[in-house]
Amino acid sequence: MRENFTLRWSELLTEAVTRPGMMFEAYSRFHGYSIGNQIAALSQCHTRKIEPGPIATFPKWRELGRRVKRGEKALWLCMPVTVTKPLDADDPDGKERIVTLFIWRPRWFVLAQTEGLPYELEPIPSWSKEKALAALAVGEIPFTALDGNTQGYAEVRSVAINSVAQLPWKTLFHELGHVLLGHTAQSATSDGERLPKNLREAEAEAVALISCDSLGLPGAEFCRGYIQEWLGTGNPIPEPSARRIFRAADQVITAGAALS
């Protein structure tokens, strides 16, 4: 592993889009971590031929009665770091600013890299639509569109899903993506620069793909084609969009997660 490891979020998203089932495996193995880190951990395990599994830092494994095997190298994950920015001479207030940066660090080991006391696997959370909508402060409103081809739509902080939608889970996650990505807020205002429609639709569909694939719900296979259709063949999703997509998908999945 190189000393200054880094991964672009657009690269992680490309893996999620092009490798069917990857998100489900990543979520099943690393559901306690953000979606981006789930993919990063799984990708490194595959590259290094390590059995994916529960992941923790060196001190945490020791706390659990296990020790990292000699010679094992840590996996890199992206972690938040809070720093204080120095005084800015151009700032009239002359105040220091506290900001959060996200930095890749090699501090995690999977179960297969450790030995010691038996480890009991944590259950994979189920997902509840009602819990997610309440946590996200998103309402579900009656579907009133007259166009029979419309599967669903979003309005500010509300979503409407056609009762006969072909893929209701995919449609729900797509419309939630529009809300959480701020697309509906953009539509409600006339000022400010808006993302082009094709990028808005590709972003929302990527949220739907990650959510469906992670939770093992139907629809992910259809998302891949739609994403390419909206972007155009060979055009990757921009890095800022990839970051936003992962953040929104994390919100969707985390908000509805519940242990049985």
Question: pLDDT for 33-64, tens place per residue?
Answer: 999 999 999 999 999 999 999 999 999 999 99
Q: pTM for the complete prediction?
A: 0.86
Same structural domain for residues 99 and 195?
no
Find all residues with CB under 8 Å of 57, minimum gap 6, and list them: 107, 108, 109
pLDDT at residue 89, as a whole number: 60
Q: Which of 64, 86, 116 is the last residue of a domain?
A: 116
Structure tokens at 202: 């590709």
Of 218, 214, 174, which Cα lies nearest the Cα of 33?
214
Tell me if 193 is assigned to some domain.
Answer: yes
| Domain span at 37 | 9-116
Same structural domain for residues 153 and 253?
yes
Tell me if 2 is assigned to some domain.
Answer: no
Long-range contact list for 17-21, CB < 8 A, 24+ apart?
A: 17/206, 17/209, 17/224, 17/227, 18/224, 20/213, 20/220, 20/221, 20/224, 21/213
Q: Give start and end residues of each alpha helix (H) in 33-156.
A: 35-48, 58-63, 129-136
Q: Which of 63, 87, 116 is the last residue of a domain?
A: 116
Same structural domain for residues 216 and 143?
yes
101 DSSP β-pair partners: 81
Tell me if 99 is assigned to some domain.
Answer: yes
Count of domains for the chain: 2
Tell me if 4 is assigned to some domain.
Answer: no
Tell me if 26 is assigned to some domain.
Answer: yes
Same structural domain for residues 20 and 109?
yes
Same structural domain for residues 141 and 94?
no
Residue 112 gets which letter from DSSP?
G
Tell me if 73 is assigned to some domain.
Answer: yes
Q: Which of 116, 151, 184 is the last residue of a domain?
A: 116
Write out pLDDT tens, residues 95-140: 677 877 888 999 999 999 999 999 998 899 999 999 999 999 999 9
84 DSSP β-pair partners: 98
